[in-house]
Structure 1
Amino acid sequence: MGLIESINSAVNGWVWGPPMLVLMGFVGILMTARTGVFQIRHIGHWMKKTIGDIFKSKEVTAHTTDKSISQFQSLCTALAATVGTGNIVGVAGAIATGGPGAVFWMWIIAFFGMMTNYSENVLGIFYRKKNAADEWSGGAMYYLRYGLGEKKNCKAIGIFLAGAFSVFCFLASFGIGNMTQVNSISSNMNSAFGIPTWVTGLFIMAAVGIVVLGGLKRIAAVTEKIVPLMVVLYIVGAVVILVTHIGTVPAIFTSIFKSAFGMKAVGGGIVGFGIRQAVILGMKRGVFSNEAGLGSSVMVHSSSNVAEPVRQGMWGIFEVFADTIVVCTLTAVSILASGDIDLATGQLVSGVESSNLASAAFGAMFGKPGEMFIAIAILLFAFSTVLGWSHYGSKACEYLLGLKATMIYKIIFTLATFGGAVMGQNLAWDIADTLNGLMAIPNLIGVLALSGTVAAITKNYVDRTFRGKTVKPMLSAYEDIQAMQEKKIASQ
């Protein structure tokens, strides 16, 4: 373990250094500019075509008869993978270490991350293919190999980056998608109910196996029931805390903005160091939470029955908005309203551990039931994250080793959940951080290289939808799939 910690610390310091944060921010800013600030200019449209259509369009919610999944199921499975412990434990840790200012940098990375996630999904749909089982297969590995790789003199680099992304994703599925999630479940169940970590590990292993071994259809069927319920209940609880402490809201937001730019670091350290900690932790936890830039959720979005790449891209915008702007902000406000963080200094003033700050906030409001609610919320959040990430790892395995190898992967993934339950928490989070960064590198290179393609597809959609132009839709990079999707749109 000591050797693993040393190696991971060295790699983590390189992966999450200033160059990575600059690259992450630059890609988001570039895609925001190249799409005409789509997330703001067309906010009414993407809201209507995502959350609005959930309540009125059967096309979005109806279960499919083929091996694809509905747009709503793709969102729920993607949110299952993103709305997890990062929204509770990750936010708490960022605030405890980086001060309230970390929340501001979460917002910044989320705002631009909306268009990074949008771009990933657009490319995912545009370059996806059908596998031997007649299922859609898409993701960063496909637009790296068949998008970037088709550019002049880029075939070798496209194949290499696609392979690298798949390897990092395969490994990350055991970190961000398995160890950290199950570790948070077991530690919180032990804290709230006194249940031994190994008992929780066995229970989670059995539950994960039942769902994951059933394939994407079963995963989607479970997540579309769990995710909406858990998100709504969590939001209601956080809003109650917010309303009860409404008088402290101005002070909370003042603390967030001051800490982001100039307030002393936690514990009264050097100002510059405090800002650096806020920026790094805010961005890292923001990315850990919404995964924009990792190229992960695009693998499930690519399995959607949608024909228009931009339509699925808009679900990517909503995904980041719901995950970080809504859920993470409510977590942060709940913690900062609890009194456990000094709003003037950003210092942790109570004896509560950073990982239990959210639990303490809900406990202060609702008593013991509040602490138990957070433990159950973390259980559901993390369990659904494990389900979502099992699909990502499965797709990476399929790309690297073929379709037949995915069943072996699913079995190993299921067994690994027990290891996550009894593993040291800090090491689990550190490994997840490292693998996040390693996944992001090839993916962001691909998005940058194909930014012109995203811009062209977006312009094509805007021309047809808002400007009334009669132009051929850009639906796929492949002629046969393009023709098939054109017929689908014509029949709707």
Structure 2
Amino acid sequence: MQELNDILILIDSYIGSSFWFPYVLIGTGLFFTIYLKFPQVRYFRFALSVVKGKFDKSDDEGDTSHFQALATALSGTVGTGNIAGVALAIHIGGPAALFWMLVTAAVGMCTKFVEVTLSHKYREKTTDGTMAGGPMYFMKNKMNMKWLAAAFAVATVLSSFGTGSLPQINSISNTLNATFGINHMLTGGVLAVLLGFVIIGGIKRIAAVTEKLVPSMAVIYFIGAFGVIFYNYDQILPSFASIFSDLFTGSSATGGFLGASIAFAFNKGVGRGLFSNEAGQGSAPIAHASAKGHEPVSEGMVAILEPFIDTIVICTITGLVLLSSGVWSEKHENEFQVSDLSILEQIDISDETKEGSAALYGHVSGKAPLPVFSGELAATDGKITTPATFIHARSLAEDVTLYKNGSPYTGSTQILDGNPIDPEVTFIGKSLVHSAPLTALAFSRGFFGAYGSYIVSIGILLFAFSTAISWSYYGDRAMTFLFGSGSVIYFRIVYVIGFFVASFTDTTIIWSLAGIAIAVMTLPNLFGLLYLRKDMKQTVDDFWKGFKKEYPEEKTPE
């Protein structure tokens, strides 16, 4: 598992986690923001009217309403990125990472507007009578680049697993196991059956489920979140301040947190921002292409609301919960994940001193690695007797004990280059935690006490399950593009099986896989958007000319 994760991290280092990827993503959004004169600001109020159905026509072609398309797209974006992703970004990049998530969302509102408009404009009706659209269709029908369209469709199928299926059920099963002690495989099995039941009904059943699920899960999550924020009201302003104060200096060490550079905060904030709202990835346009509408620009305006709701609202609230509660920089008792664990030779070092924190940060960042341990690690009744230093979840671990088959272990276990070899041996101790377990801890620091973690469990269950539903449709449409409607049934079977298997697979590896899948899907889409920039601008101009003729009494943002 460790070797596989190392390979995935190496691949991702050249694309999604590379220094240039965030600049390409934000740069594309900034270009269109200026090129189209800030449509995310000027069209925001108009988009609300479109969602309400104010300009709908009875003869509009499509399978879903504007609101259903928005709910389906939102259910695809509002998922573990909002709960686990924010926690992971702050864990790695510090509070400043949240700022870059918000910047990504602000420019992403414009990117969503562009990609949805073009995808809706060049959509097609399939042989089974349903609408099919997405970046692969404007790549084929307008750009005449069938090879690029096929590459994007293949990336979409892969990303449906790396974004929609695998990390979602993994977060659900981990959270339900930590909160209620429910077996991972049991969670995966039950939800896999429910997932299969929903997606077999196609987009109409998916839309019918998501339009009810999205508002319900938002209300539940907000109640729990504000219960924490208002409970820690004295930390609200300091939390906001921390988001902006470290922007140009990097986050300094505090508690168990060893610090983070500006580059780390920027890279992880942008990366998690994309994973959260998927602006530029080309996924949401597939859902919006099914919407009833005679004008593609109006559906593009609906998409402006997605990053705003998903990231600017929900992710900010999650970030405030994490920061105001203080759990993000505290060490907590937890079972170590091997892929997050590094065993070093015994060194006299402390994270309570400036020098010690700097040396430890040098190791976890890879800039100045410390000597790793290799050999036999001995323990008696779980207590480790061999001198060694443990780094887990980017922090100096404390009170580490050894377990095997659920009981304190007496004996020795082989360590190779700082990594445990025996999969039956587990390490338990105090360290920082990240992803969904960190958010669950934060929710227990409010008016609801320990019951707050149950809200996170319910929230993750609803958020992540709805994401898996929507992404099954994205993969469904990509398979239809590649191999025709007959291939969809085989995709759905594999999708549900993968969903089940991921319920008991290592979390870190799944996040690494998701990062790669996102990048592979995003780059062709961004190229297509820039290639069709003049087409996009002309489409917007034509829309407003036609709108003014049809609705002369309406005020327009133009």
Distance 1:469 1:380, change over 3 A: closer
Task: State the alpha-carbon separation in 2 of the partners of residues 260 and 68 from structure 1.
Answer: 45
Cα gap change, 1:65 to 1:194, in 2 (>3 Å): farther
Counterpart for residue 358 of structure 1: 439
Contact 2:120 2:296 in 1 (8 A): yes
Is 1:440 the counterpart of 2:522? The answer is yes
What is the CA distance between 1:3 and its match in structure 2? 4.8
| Aligned counterpart in structure 2 of residue 121 of structure 1, from 113, 116, 120 | 116
Corresponding residue for 1:383? 465
- Show the counterpart of 1:486: none
Give the deviation of 1:21 after TM superposition: 1.3
Which deviates further from its counterpart, 140-149 or 418-427? 140-149
- Residue type at the aligned position of 1:370: G
Structure 1 or 2: more strand by fraction: 2
The more displaced of 240-249 and 28-37 is: 240-249
Q: Which residue in the other structure is 2:161 paired with?
A: 174
Measure, in 2, the Cα distance between the counterparts of 1:320 and 1:424: 29
Change in Cα spacing, 1:176 to 1:247, as seen in structure 2 (3 Å) is: same
TM-score, length-normalised on structure 1?
Answer: 0.87
Equivalent residues in 2 for 1:19-58 (5 A)? 19-50=20-51, 53=52, 57=54
One of 77, 87, 92 as aligned partner of 1:82: 77
How do 1:109-258 and structure 2 match up within 5 A? 109-149=104-144, 158-258=145-245
Partner of 1:402: 484
State the 1:242 CA deviation: 2.5
Between 1:183-192 and 1:20-29, the stretch displaced more is 20-29
| Alpha-carbon distance between aligned partners in 2 of 1:84 and 1:7, rounded to the nearest angstrom | 26
Change (3 A) 1:269 1:410: closer
Instruction: Return the match for 1:457 from 507, 523, 539.
Output: 539
Measured in 2, the distance between the counterparts of 1:330 and 1:126 equals 35
The secondary structure found in structure 2 opposite 1:440 is: helix
CA separation in 2, counterparts of 1:94 and 1:127? 36
Q: For the residues of structure 2 that align with 1:241 and 1:49, how far apart are their CA atoms?
A: 35
Query: Where do residues 85-100 of structure 1 align in structure 2 (5 Å cutoff)?
Result: 85-100=80-95
1:476 aligned residue: none
- Secondary structure, counterpart of 1:36 in structure 2: coil
Matches within 5 A, 1:289-368: 289-341=276-328, 351=431, 353-355=433-435, 356-365=437-446, 366-368=448-450
Tell me how far apart the structure 2 counterparts of residues 186 and 459 of structure 1 sit (CA, whole Å): 48
Give CA-to-partner distance per residue, 1:200-255, whole Å, 9 cap, x none. Answer: 11011111011111111111111111111101221232233333333322211111
Retained in 1: the 8 A contact 2:176–2:182?
yes
Change (3 A) 1:337 1:133: same
> 2: distance between equivalents of 1:259 and 1:357?
22
The answer for unaligned runs of 5 or more in structure 1 is 150-157, 471-492
Number of residues of Structure 1 aligned to a counterpart in Structure 2: 454
SS of 2:280 mapped into structure 1: coil
- Residue identity in the other structure for 2:502: G
Task: Give 1:39 deviation, angstroms.
Answer: 1.2
What CA distance in whole angstroms lies between the structure 2 residues aligned with 1:462 and 1:58?
A: 13
Q: Answer yes or no: is 1:18 the counterpart of 2:19.
A: yes
Letter in 1 for 2:434: S
Decide whether the 8 Å contact of 2:257 with 2:395 is kept in 1.
no
Cα distance, 1:59 vs. partner? Answer: 4.5
Q: Which residue of 2 aligns with 1:419?
A: 501
- Return closer, same or farther for 1:348/1:37 CA change in 2, 3 Å cut-off: farther
Contact 1:110 1:286 (8 Å CA) reproduced: yes
Q: Which amino acid in the other structure matches residue 38 of structure 1?
A: P
Q: Who is 1:4 aligned against? A: 4
How far 1:83 sits from its partner (Å)? 0.1
Which residue does the alignment assign to 1:484? Answer: none
1:65 CA displacement: 11
When residues 440 and 146 of structure 1 are mapped into structure 2, their CA distance, relative to the original with a 3 A threshold, is same
- Deviation (angstroms), 1:265: 4.6
Contact kept in structure 2, 1:341 and 1:348, CA below 8 Å: no
For the 8 Å contact 2:164–2:468, the answer to whether it is kept is yes
**CA shift digits 1:269-307 (9 cap, x unpaired):** 998x61111001100000000000100010010000122
Q: Which amino acid aligns with 1:143?
A: F
Unaligned stretches of 5+ residues in structure 2: 331-356, 362-393, 397-429, 553-558
Name 2:474's counterpart in structure 1.
Answer: 392
**Which letter maps to 2:513?**
I
Distance 2:520 2:253 in 1: 29
* Partner Cα separation in structure 2 for residue 33 and residue 402 of structure 1: 39
Give the TM-score taking structure 2 as reference length.
0.77
Task: Tell me the CA shift for residue 358 of structure 1.
Answer: 1.5
Question: Contact 1:352–1:360 at 8 Å: present in 2 too?
Answer: no
Using a 3 Å threshold, how does the CA distance of structure 1 residues 58 and 147 change in structure 2: closer, same or farther?
Answer: closer
State, as a whole percentage, how many aligned pairs show the same letter: 35
Closer/same/farther in 2, CA of residues 67 and 37 from structure 1, 3 Å limit: closer
Which shows bigger deviation, 366-375 or 110-119?
366-375
Q: What is the distance in 1 between the residues matched to 2:494 and 2:229?
A: 42
Determine which structure has the larger helix proportion and give its number.
1
Flag the structure with larger Rg: 2
Task: Quickly say closer, same or farther: Cα 1:433–1:304, change in 2 above 3 A.
Answer: same
Aligned-partner residue type, residue 486 of structure 2 = K
C-alpha distance in structure 1 between counterparts of 2:226 and 2:549, whole Å = 40
Root mean square deviation, CA, Å: 2.6
Q: Does the alignment pair 1:285 with 2:272? A: yes
* Contact map agreement 1:139 1:299 (CA 8 A) in 2: yes
**Amino acid aligned to 1:393:** G
Q: Is the 8 A contact 2:62 2:291 kept in 1?
A: no
Moved more, 112-121 or 261-270: 261-270
Task: Report SS of the residue matched to 2:247.
Answer: helix
Q: Distance in 1 between matches of 2:50 and 2:432?
A: 42
Does structure 1 conserve the Cα–Cα contact (< 8 Å) formed by 2:220 and 2:455?
Answer: no
Distance 1:263 1:442, change over 3 A: closer
Which region of structure 1 is more displaced relative to structure 2, 314-323 or 261-270?
261-270
Partner of 1:475: none
Change (3 A) 1:363 1:348: farther
DSSP 3-state at the match of 1:195 = coil
Q: Structure 2 vs 1, CA of residues 279 and 467 (structure 1 numbering), >3 Å: closer, same or farther?
A: farther
